[in-house]
A = this chain, B = another copy of it.
């Protein structure tokens, strides 16, 4: 609630518009939001599923869950039973290695899927934590598997989603392995920008749901470095930052940061 409220004060129009109808009493009558009506269908498992098959798919999504900010959707080691689609809100996922090092492996927003790593071993490999009050559709894997046999597009949808996660990971590996700190941050912001755009929000004006620390963890940098980079981008007139609110003034310039040739300035 609090998060939604906060968003509301700062950016109702922008953030809630497309969701507002489907969800107005967010989650109150979850039963009524069918896949057929869901505006996220394109990015979700149901992508490209003909209308006549949607009914069968809806059997999968029988459970909705509301996760409050800071709470966990699942934890590393939990039994894997379902994938989760984000209907509203956003999450981070983290993993810890044997030495206790923790790292953010991704930030996820509306329409994106969580929990795919759990498929590998039957237990979740990481932890998903809500960055704001969020709701998700739980989709039991057993049902996806079963219904997927009858509905090929669902099958493909799952493959697509898994493969996209792999491609995304490779992008992050590239980022972590061969980009400088400022290139990483620029890439991160450009990526966020694109994802907001695709969802119909402003691509230049958005709110960072995560802390600087979390951004740093994701990008393999320390908080101080992230903070300094924000300042530097600001000085250069590329960005305006006020707390969590970001305004990309010069998207082209931000993109250019990614080119190694810009090292000179």
Contacts and interface: CB of A to CB of B under 8 A. Distances in A.
Contacts of A172: 169, 173
Contacts of A34: none
A98 B179 CA distance: 12
A211 B76 CA distance: 35
A97 B167 CA distance: 12
Nearest to A174: B103
A258 B152 CA distance: 44
Given A97-B171, A99-B259, A116-B166, 17 more contacts: A95-B174, A99-B260, A101-B174, A101-B178, A101-B179, A119-B162, A119-B163, A120-B163, A125-B170, A145-B156, A148-B155, A158-B159, A165-B166, A166-B169, A169-B169, A177-B218, A178-B217
Interface of A: 95, 97-99, 101, 103, 105, 116-121, 125-126, 145, 148-149, 152, 155-156, 158-160, 162-167, 169-174, 176-179, 217-220, 258-260
5 contacts: A101-B174, A119-B162, A145-B152, A149-B152, A166-B166
